[in-house]
Amino acid sequence: MEGKGLRATLARVVAACATAGAVVARAPASTEGSPGPEAGAALRAATAWREQDALRPPANASWQLGAAVALHQGTLAVGPSHDWDLGRDHGGVRLYVERGDHFHDAGEVLHPSSDVHAFFGAALALHGETLAIGSPHDSTRGFQAGAVFMYERRASGWMLQQQLLRPQAMSDDLAGSAVAMDGQTLIIGVPKADALALDTGAAEVFERVDGAWSHVATLTAPQPCIGALFGLSVAVDGDTIFVGAPGDDALGPMAGRVHVFHRTTAGWTWQAAIGCPTGPRGWFGASVAAANGRAVVGAPRAARSPQPGAYVRGAAWMLARIDGVWQCGSMLTPDLPEHGDSLGCAAATDGSTVVLGATADSTRGRLAGCAYAFTQRPGGAWISQRLDPAAAEPRSLIGHGVAVDERWVAIGRLGDPEADPAAGEVDLFMRAPVPPRTPRPVPDAPPRAASR
């Protein structure tokens, strides 16, 4: 991909691009790594999700929807589309509220300084009445040093509370490329921070006390790697933080790793680094999500098969702590191995359902994309359902952003990166009750012949 499309792809890679290079090319799968023993554990599921809504701007609107989505307790936030040639945002963050079985437009939030070049809304986190908006191209503390804006919902609407900046901000840090929030804890990804080396990355931790957010820690890898992009994805669940570094090459070129930190009485301490089970070029950690004791890591370029010529890539792994050691557990892949290319480019979980984006899936047209929802059976096996929006077109890049909260799944699409502005859309799936399986009647046994 050349010109505009390549620039868009590379820009998203360094500004929280969960696609992690999957849209650049459908390269042949490498034989350097093969899936672990849990491959194929995801089985075809009975239909549990149905498409309910498709959110898109009205005709002649001055704004366009992007791919970033956040969903919590009946509120949906959607970031704007971005013009890659002009570096311009098309609108602000749109808010929607649930009423019955549908979501309704509740207005938008714009950059406080009306900066249309700040990439305002590139990343979103929503928890209760608090909304965190990442703006990695904000230049308050230096050219594209980045910032995060914190909003609170009031009776009159969403009100700006604070602008959060890195204590040691530098130009081109891209702080706010990823954000995650759980209760009173906020994590900001800074994938282009130069911690001892170029683009090693960092993550900033803020905690809210008496209504105000304060910086409490800067997280980095114990041994920073050049180009690791530590902080390209972040997640927090209670006292545990997960930070993705998909460019980390400690286990091979672009194998990627996820770092785990735990909150103690002494502060946030590093616990573990988990690498890609399939080896190099997996981009393990391009996405990470955690909630209610569960964590999942996406690797959109991980090899699924050791067979030469198998071009479909992408998988995700559930993380498990066994005997005090963090490691990869079940491997999640589509039930049809030729589907779901780039699975894991985006990830979300509410603790019971895991949703993964697959922007390079070409089942319904080249790079049309899709998403998959995974749930675990009581016996431990994971079952999957493909989430295919009705309006899927080539180069839609559906699944670039995903969110899930109990009965709703939101799927954002990036749109054609060569169209300025790209025509984005958010597709909403609602959990549908699965009808009980009707037992098949058992015919009466034939009468036994009388013995002579």
Q: Do residues 398 and 371 touch, judged by C-beta distance below 8 A?
A: yes
pLDDT in tens, 339-376: 999 999 999 999 999 999 999 999 999 999 999 999 99
Confidence at 415, pLDDT banded by 50, 70, 90: confident
Confidence at 421, pLDDT banded by 50, 70, 90: low
**What CATH number does residue 15 fall under?**
2.130.10.130
Residue 451 lies in a domain: no
Residue 223 lies in a domain: yes
Residue that wins the pLDDT comparison between 302 and 42: 302
pLDDT in tens, 53-63: 999 888 778 88
Place of tokens 């009485």: 265
Three-state secondary structure call for residue 88: strand
Tokens encoding 57: 């701007």
Listed as own residue / partner, the contacts of 92-99 with beta carbons closer than 8 Å and 24 or more positions apart are 92/63, 92/120, 92/121, 93/120, 93/121, 93/124, 93/131, 93/133, 94/63, 94/65, 95/158, 96/55, 98/74, 98/408
Order of strands, sheet of 49-55, starting from the edge strand that comes earlier in the sequence: 49-55, 425-431, 408-413, 398-405
Residue 452 lies in a domain: no
pLDDT in tens, 259-273: 999 999 999 999 999
Tokens encoding 287: 């996405």
In the chain, the largest separation of any two C-alpha atoms, in whole Å, equals 100
Amino acid identity, residue 152? E
Tokens encoding 433: 């009750």
Residue 443 lies in a domain: no
The region of weakest confidence among 176-180, 202-206, 429-433 is 429-433
Query: What is the domain range of residue 386?
Result: 4-431
| 10 has pLDDT over 70 | no
Domains held by the chain: number: 1
pLDDT in tens, 115-135: 999 999 999 999 999 999 999
Confidence at 8, pLDDT banded by 50, 70, 90: very low
| 386 has pLDDT over 90 | yes
Residue 446 lies in a domain: no
Provide the pLDDT for residue 310: 60
Residue 278 lies in a domain: yes
Confidence at 424, pLDDT banded by 50, 70, 90: confident
| 34 has pLDDT over 60 | no
- Cα 262 to chain centroid distance, Å, stands at 22
Residue 91 lies in a domain: yes
Residue 147 lies in a domain: yes
